[in-house]
Amino acid sequence: MPLEVSEIVAALEPSATMAMAAKAKALKAAGKTVHDFSLGEPDFNTPEHICQAAIAAMKAGQTHYTPAAGIPELRAAVAKQYEKAHGLTYKPSQVVVSNGAKHSLHNVFTSVINPGDEVIIPAPYWVSYAELVKLCGGRPVIVETTQVSNFKLLPEQLRRALTKQSKMLLLCSPSNPTGTMYTPAELGALADIAIEADLAVLSDEIYERLIYGNHKFASFATVRPGLQERTILVNGVSKTYAMTGWRIGWTLAPEKISQAIADLQSQETSNPSSVSQYAALAAIEGSQDCVAEMLGEFAQRREFVRQRIASLPNVTCPEMAGAFYAFINIQAHLGRSFRGTRVDNSTQWCQTLLEQVSVATVMGSSFGAEGYARISFATSLSILEAGFDAIERFLKSPA
Ligand code: PMP
Ligand code: GLU
**328 and 209 housed in the same domain:** no
- Residue 295 has a pLDDT of 98
Half-sphere exposure of 215 (CA within 13 A, CB side): 21
- Point out the domain boundary residue: 285, 317, 336: 285
Contacts of residue 34, Cβ cutoff 8 Å, sequence gap at least 6:
24, 27, 28, 354, 358, 359, 360
Q: Would you say 129 and 179 are in contact if contact means Cβ atoms under 8 Å apart?
A: no
The 10 Å CB-count burial string (b at 16+, else e) for 124-135 is: bbbbbbbebbbb
- Residue 5 has a pLDDT of 96
Indicate which ligand has the atom closest to the C-alpha of 171.
1
- Residue 360 has a pLDDT of 97
**221 and 304 housed in the same domain:** no
**261 and 112 housed in the same domain:** yes
Pocket test for ligand 2, best of 39, 129, 178, 206 (most atoms within 8 A of CB): 39
**58 and 141 housed in the same domain:** yes
**How far apart are alpha carbons 310 and 369 in whole angstroms?**
21
Q: Is the CB–ligand 2 distance for residue 41 below 6 Å?
A: yes
- Residue 1 has a pLDDT of 80
**211 and 281 housed in the same domain:** yes
**225 and 348 housed in the same domain:** no
Q: Would you say 260 and 111 are in contact if contact means Cβ atoms under 8 Å apart?
A: yes
- Residue 147 has a pLDDT of 98
CATH of residue 237's domain is 3.40.640.10
- Residue 31 has a pLDDT of 94
- Residue 22 has a pLDDT of 93
**41 and 52 housed in the same domain:** no
Q: Would you say 333 and 315 are in contact if contact means Cβ atoms under 8 Å apart?
A: yes
- Point out the domain boundary residue: 263, 285, 307: 285
**337 and 299 housed in the same domain:** yes
Is 249 a domain residue?
Answer: yes
Q: Is the CB–ligand 1 distance for residue 248 below 6 Å?
A: no
Q: Count the domains in the chain.
A: 2
Q: Would you say 175 and 187 are in contact if contact means Cβ atoms under 8 Å apart?
A: no
- Residue 103 has a pLDDT of 98
Q: Residue 197: helix, strand or coil by DSSP?
A: coil
Q: Is the CB–ligand 2 distance for residue 179 below 6 Å?
A: no
**How far apart are alpha carbons 250 and 102 in whole angstroms?**
9
Q: Would you say 239 and 210 are in contact if contact means Cβ atoms under 8 Å apart?
A: yes
pLDDT digits (tens, 9 = 90+) for 61-87: 999 999 999 999 999 999 999 999 999
Closest CA to 13 of 104, 113, 94, 132: 132
**29 and 132 housed in the same domain:** no
Contacts of residue 366, Cβ cutoff 8 Å, sequence gap at least 6:
13, 16, 17, 127
Low-confidence ranges of the chain (pLDDT < 50): none
**29 and 52 housed in the same domain:** no
**80 and 37 housed in the same domain:** no
- Residue 325 has a pLDDT of 98
How far, in whole angstroms, is CA 322 from its chain's centroid? 11
- Point out the domain boundary residue: 285, 309, 342: 285
Q: Which domain holds residue 165?
A: 48-285
CATH of residue 29's domain is 3.90.1150.10
Using the 8-state DSSP alphabet, how is residue 219 labeled? -
**132 and 215 housed in the same domain:** yes
Is 169 a domain residue?
Answer: yes
Q: Is the CB–ligand 2 distance for residue 375 below 6 Å?
A: no
Q: Is the CB–ligand 1 distance for residue 40 below 6 Å?
A: yes
- Residue 226 has a pLDDT of 95
